Structure 1
Amino acid sequence: MRAVETKQIRRHALILAIYTALVGTILAQTTIISAVDDNRLKETATPNAPYPKGVWQKGQDGQVTVMFDVTKRGRVQNPCITNSTYPGIFELYALQAVKDFRYENLTRPRELIEGVSTTVDFTLDSNPKDFVSPKYPYAALEFGFQGYVVVKFDVKSNGKVRNFSTPAAVPAKVFEDAALEAARQFRFDSNRFLERQTMHHKFIFSLDSEPNNLVIPEYPNQAKEEGIQGHAIVNFDINSEGSVDRAYVVYSSDSIFDQPAVDAVSQFIFDPNKPAQNVYHKVEFILNRNLHALTKKVPKYPRAAILNRIEGYVIVRFDVDERGSVDNLSVLEAEPPDVFNEAALAATAQFTYLPKYVDGKPVRVQGERNRLRFALGTPNQNARQNTQEIRPQRQGRRTPNRRRQSENPRRQPVIEDRRPESMRNIKLDPIYELQLTGDHDDGSVIVQFDVNGHGYVEGPKILEVIDTSLPEEIKERILDEVSFFWYVPWLKNDQPIRVNGVKHRIELTFDGN
């Protein structure tokens, strides 16, 4: 009897243990929540992401979406980049900022919160409540200088600014004082920041107001007869109708150009939705000048051509208008056909010129040609790479130096590079969507890799495949693509820093073939 009771007790104990284990497993799984609403988290620290120094000149606004988990203690873990408006520009800076985010976890009992998503904004417009336009330096007006200044400053919780510096100025020592004087007068809403924040603001000093219409000034007859050339700079406002108000000359190389310059600018037409004050425009008076190229955009190498190791060239025909802009583009010749055409046309459309002048007026130039070459690697580049590879072998034959060994006790691990040697200078923008051929379910992958100090990807691998299954050849195809990703390097104290363990999500779609 006791034996039977003992067996029953053991059986009940076993059932209870199994039940407890199952319940414990279920509870452990349900503590991880896949979605979060605003009531579960309270922001305690969300520092601004620094704007990448390498792209201050372009100065475009951008956004990066980062997905991450929040621990019970309110710290961020497993951050993963899921989207970016300008791929390759802002991602590393957004990632580093999000790692420093802090939250108060309001769940009770506290739980790990998965799948939190945030958007990190990047802008060089600090958007103050009280904005002051900088005064254009007279010396810059005299020589027709244009440029920009990035001002760095702190904003206190009361909205006042302090601790000014100019980390970037082009050209140097021309516009800095004017930019600083304007920034010192900025004021921000007192409830905008919970604590002191470091901000950047880009001041652009331009003498091209970019009107919708082109008005050519009348060249004064006396100036023509005497061979006088020069320029006048007109200051004006743009009203709510898009017309010019209060136009007057702030500088002219000769007063003979004042009235023709004002007459021309007064006929400008602008977007009525963008009124502005204190606008400058440079009006040139040139008798004769040949066409001169100012900038020529380097074309982007098409992704498919890189992955398929295709090289070639395109000859583009185009016109240059009276402003120095390019239009009427067409492809005259391409080898191979229809591979590089789109990239060549897009690059040529961004060429800029000093327009041609004839008898005091800018004229259109027709039938210009430009050859754009697409090459994955040149013999000189390969030679340099081979030389760099040989040098360590030569040094290795020397007698070991104890001092050198003590200074470098550990050798850096060798990371496999998937890219061919002749293509290691190729840069591709990161992608967040990839269309593939195959009869597979749509899904996504999370890839992980390191980004070295030059912005190139190293050691990519697939961490997770979501909502689909992928054969090895497609995984290799994805990793080949990722290996060419390039990012603006992460700078710390103006030094490029390696970023390890970057996670990046790519959505996959299949065409069913």
Structure 2
Amino acid sequence: MGRAYLLISNLPLVSHQLAHYGRSFAMAAVATTLLVVAMSRLIATDFSEPPAEEYSPIKSVHMPEMKVTTIREEPPQPPQPVPSQPTFDPPAVDPTIPKIPTVMAPPTVSNEANQIVVSRDPVPVFKPSPRYPSAALRKGIEGYVVVEFTITKTGSVKDVRVVAGYDSAGNPTNVFNRSAIAAAARFKYQPQLRDGVPVEQYGVRNRIRYKLGD
């Protein structure tokens, strides 16, 4: 009796649960049916490979024609002849310059008590030509230099100095000074004799001329 009453009292709850289960099964069945239909449609679809994309044809590459250029080396030119060096006149001594002992007095001989005493002025023995300065040679400058020096007892030259230097136009210049000093320092003399004894001669002057050859 009690059990029958319990079943009757729980009948609505059971019915509700059965109805819930029924709906769940129905929904599951519908979802399964839809999946099956979708799968069958997919299987039935005739898939084909998509058409391949057509690419534009590649143009052929034309390489330009290469030309070989042969470079010929010119034979070496023969050396040019060396131009002849201008010649110049040897230095000249101008006898018109004052204080230049250009007039040599003849030796004087005196006979006193059977003794011969000789006196004379310096006598030039060696006068080398000066070296023409390259700067004056390039510019074509001519001129002269007056030098002054001392002749020693042995006939050598010392204390050479330049008194003046001029170009051919009469303008002062020092382009020849070094060359003139070097040339005068090499002069050689027979020394001055005074009563037969060599002595030094001071203030001897010489003009050294520089002239280009024609």
TM category (shorter chain) comes to 0.3 to 0.5
Q: So what's the TM-score if we normalise by structure 2? A: 0.43
Structure with larger RCO (C-alpha < 8 A, sep 6+): 2
Q: So what's the TM-score if we normalise by structure 1? A: 0.19
Which structure is higher in strand share? 1
